[in-house]
């Protein structure tokens, strides 16, 4: 995606994968202070560690508790930010075909992606937000209820949007959301994008519900990061054209 965007924008740049062990993370972040670097993308499990290694963490990323991208300033300072929250909002609103504002949202999961989704929902001003997880706790003040609780089921029955923010459907088998509990007007959004049709998306479609996987969230957050690094906006279509054939390939696995 990113290299397609560099080419389309006429920028002499490249996006490279670095698979590194934890003890080498600090060195990799330090290297990004050098001229020639635009920034970094960060994946689990290093999103919290990288936050402690940059010069500044933006407010949204601090609240979410994770840095998934870093931009280098002209003077070599590193700023950590998070694109998962705005990326989710773009993807979810595209799937719903109306804004998150005023919507009733139910989320399954309490990990890093769920924290970003909670933040996005708060910023959007949703009408209600229910988070379910196997082990109840809190996310930024939002109480989490058990996935198998009556409270979670009741929230699903009134939901405008039901979101899977777990690895169920990608790493783990099964579904995190019982689609039979959703009203016919609900939209299902699965943050998993490999496979392209998860069991949840398939089940929602079989019920006649609007449903989408996480590919648009992936593309949106990538385009947001690219703009922060380069100042060039509007690369979502280029990125989509580059990545969708790969995501649609049935031989691609998590």
Helix H segments across the chain?
Answer: 2-9, 25-31, 47-51, 59-64, 84-96, 112-124, 150-157, 199-206, 215-230, 236-247
Output the CA torsion 16→17→21→24 (10° steps).
10
Q: Give pLDDT < 70 ranges for the chain.
A: 168-173, 250-254
What would the pLDDT profile of 77-131 be if each residue is shown by its tens digit? Answer: 999 999 999 999 999 999 999 999 999 999 999 888 999 999 999 999 999 999 9
- Give the residue numbers annotated as catalytic, written as ranges: 47
Handedness of CA 120, 128, 146, 159 (dihedral sign): negative
What would the pLDDT profile of 176-190 be if each residue is shown by its tens digit? Answer: 899 999 999 999 999
| pLDDT of amino acid 254 | 44
| pLDDT of amino acid 168 | 66
pTM of this structure: 0.92
């Amino acid at each position: 995606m990113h290299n397609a965007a560099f080419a389309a924008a006429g920028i002499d740049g490249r996006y490279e994968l670095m698979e590194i062990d934890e003890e080498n993370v600090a060195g990799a972040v330090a290297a990004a202070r050098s001229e020639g670097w635009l920034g970094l993308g960060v994946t689990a499990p290093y999103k919290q560690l990288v936050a402690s290694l940059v010069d500044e963490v933006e407010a949204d990323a601090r609240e979410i508790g994770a840095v998934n991208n870093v931009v280098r300033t002209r003077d070599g300072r590193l700023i950590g930010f998070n694109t998962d929250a705005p990326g989710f909002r773009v993807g979810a609103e595209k799937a719903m075909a109306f804004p998150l504002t005023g919507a009733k949202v139910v989320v399954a999961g309490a990990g890093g992606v769920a924290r970003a989704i909670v933040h996005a929902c708060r910023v959007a001003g949703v009408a209600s937000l229910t988070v379910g997880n196997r082990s109840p706790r809190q996310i930024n003040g939002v109480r989490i209820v058990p996935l198998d609780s009556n409270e979670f089921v009741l929230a699903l029955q009134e939901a405008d949007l039901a979101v899977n923010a777990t690895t169920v459907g990608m790493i783990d088998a099964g579904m995190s959301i019982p689609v039979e509990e959703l009203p016919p007007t609900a939209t299902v959004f699965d943050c998993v994008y490999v496979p392209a049709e998860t069991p949840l998306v398939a089940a929602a479609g079989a019920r006649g519900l609007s449903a989408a996987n996480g590919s648009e969230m992936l593309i949106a957050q990538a385009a947001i990061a690219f703009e922060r690094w380069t100042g060039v906006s509007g690369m979502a279509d280029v990125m989509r054209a580059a990545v969708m054939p790969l995501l649609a390939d049935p031989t691609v696995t998590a």
